[in-house]
Each structure stands twice: as structure tokens, then as C-alpha cells.
Amino acid sequence: MQTFTQHEKDFVVEFLADTLHGLTINNVLSRQEGNGFIRMADAQEVLGNLEMLYNKHDDEEDFVLNETNATWTFTLDDAQTALRSYDTEYRDCIVEQFEDACTDALADAEKKLLDADYATLADRINNY
């Protein structure tokens, strides 16, 4: 079984949230310019996949010890669904954007300190 660390799961969730933000901005601006919602279907699909991942977590609090243990419980298969389940040509676009985000993370000094292998993450998710 392949590993999938909590930091890597954080990265996937953050990527989808950032993607949704960008699509939302595109929709708002296109509507304001009179062009309708040009990326609404894509945004709704990303939102649904982000919600699917959000629903897979554990959050245990011990009020006596004042500790919280929060973990993502989604799998590589779930991450693959979240990145590859799109109906349109958008699937290729979001997969490429995720691969680019992983490449950028390799150069980020702060991300190097995390328990995450960005060099193989896109491959592990896309080829699961």
C-alpha cells in the first residue's frame, strides 16, 4: 500500500480550495462583464469534490488534556476521484495544474520541512 501523509492530504485540499477560489473569481468577473458564468460547471464540480474530501476527516478533542487530534481520512483513491472525475476537458487542465503545483512545492523551502514527497505525489494520485 502506498503512503499518503497528512501533509500531502493538506496539499490536495488546499489545491482544490485554491482552484475553487480562482474559478469563483472567473465567474464573478465574467458575470460583471456581461458574459455570464463562464466556469460555473467546473466550479460546481470542484466544490463537490472538495466537499467529498472535507467529509472524510476525524477531529478528536480531549478537553481534559487540552489536545486535538485532527486527521484527514481520505485515501489516494479519493484524491484521484477529486482530481480526475471531471466530465469535460477541464480534467486534463486540473491534472496539469496539480502537477505544476507539486513541481512548485518542490522549490518551496517551507514545504521541504513537511512530511510530503511532492516529487511523486501527482504520480501516486494519478496512477493509483
pLDDT by 10-residue block (mean), the chain, 128 residues: 89 98 97 95 96 95 80 96 88 94 87 84 88
**Model pTM score:** 0.90
Instruction: Kindly give the interhelix angle for 76-84 and 40-54, rounded to the nearest 10 degrees.
Output: 170
pLDDT confidence of residue 1: 57
- The reported pLDDT for the residue numbered 109 is 67
Extract the C-alpha cell encoding 95: 491534472
Residue 58 near residue 68, CB atoms below 8 Å: no
Q: Which residues contact 11 (CB under 8 A, 6 or more apart)?
A: 101, 102, 105, 116, 118, 121
Q: What are phi and psi of 70, to 5 degrees?
A: -110, 125
Hey, where are the domains in the chain?
6-126
Which helix H or strand E contains 72, and what residues bound it? strand 67-72
